[in-house]
Amino acid sequence: MPRTLVTGGAGFLGSHLCEALLSRGHSVIAMDSLLTGAASNVGHLIANPKFELVDYDVTNYLHVDGELDRILHFASPASPVDYLEMPIHTLKVGALGTHKALGLAKAKGARFLLASTSEVYGDPLEHPQTESYWGNVNPIGVRGVYDEAKRFGEALTMAYHRAHGLETRIVRIFNTYGPRMRAGDGRVLPNFINQALRGEPLTVYGDASQTRSLCYVDDLVAGILALLEGDFVEPVNIGNPDEITIMGLAEEVIAATGTKSEIVTRPLPEDDPKVRQPNIARAREVLGWEPKVPRSVGLGRTIDYFRSLMTDEGKGA
């Protein structure tokens, strides 16, 4: 069975990937500095003899004993709160971390999958976004540390593929949600759910007409693993094209939680993208993949998870 390294393996997406890989028979090493990840995300996997959690920062020299068949590079701060608080580390993990992980893949002869992002499209002038669109990114804006780190990571990954013949895959991940999202990570859905469950006003920015397309984590993981085991080298959008305005999402959360919260507005943050919707024609064609979980179902599961966190807090857990 394959032996697989997941960097950022204790994060939201990384932990779900570790779980899915184990279920497919992989031996899995989750490597995470725990800066934004949490050991509790993989606590239920620790007893599995095929699983190992390693506390390590991938921007340093990267070595793993023994054979490796797959490397999934997911290490990175991934929310605006995180990369605005840690701009230099975000750049380092996207650049140095990707370089170290690619070097390890080359040394081990492992297939490498890069977790890129829809943020490579910036505030897009094309809608919906196709993989052939080059993007509209402000390189010196406050979000540039994340956007440009991921763009550089893609360029470096393709350079290793072309120069060294390394087997590489690139997934451009669109907004994803589900259990194990951090309650305070600053992204729109955790913010809305937490505010609603506390009976607080839901905060929207600008006129809340900006759009997002939310993909449930189980669908995302299925798409990533299909890409990993396929033979397509160029970037592939994985996300849910079911687009909704921020105002519409706030109203859905209010209805799903049963809260009586109001909606309040605040000024729009710098470089906040106005639209975000994946064109997934390539994923459908080359992977036979498309999302299956309706937002109403995924939202209910996610709200239940956040409600359980608040229950644990109330018990002093």
Residues annotated as catalytic (active site), given as ranges? 146
Measure Cα distances from 250 to 55, 56, 139, 178, 301 in Å: 37, 37, 30, 16, 16
The helix (run of H) or strand (run of E) holding residue 169 is strand 168-173
Distance CA(273)–CA(288), nearest Å, equals 29
| Nearest by Cα to 303 from 185, 196, 212 | 196
- Amino acid, res. 132: S
Q: Which of 171, 285, 145, 280 is nearest to 234 (CA)?
A: 171
- Name the DSSP class of 94: I
DSSP sequence for 95-147: IIIHHHHHHHHHHHT-EEEEEEEGGGGBS-SSSSBPTT---B--TTSTTHHHH
Selection from 36, 10, 238, 291 nearest residue 129 by Cα? 238
Torsion, Cα 17 19 23 24, to 10 degrees, reads 20
Helix (H, G, I), strand (E, B) or coil at 161: helix
Residues whose CB falls within 8 Å of the CB of residue 241, separated by 6 or more in sequence, listed in order: 128, 213, 277, 278, 279, 280
Q: What is the rounded CA–CA span in Å between residue 286 and residue 113?
A: 16
- Do the beta carbons of residue 129 and residue 243 sit within 8 Å? no
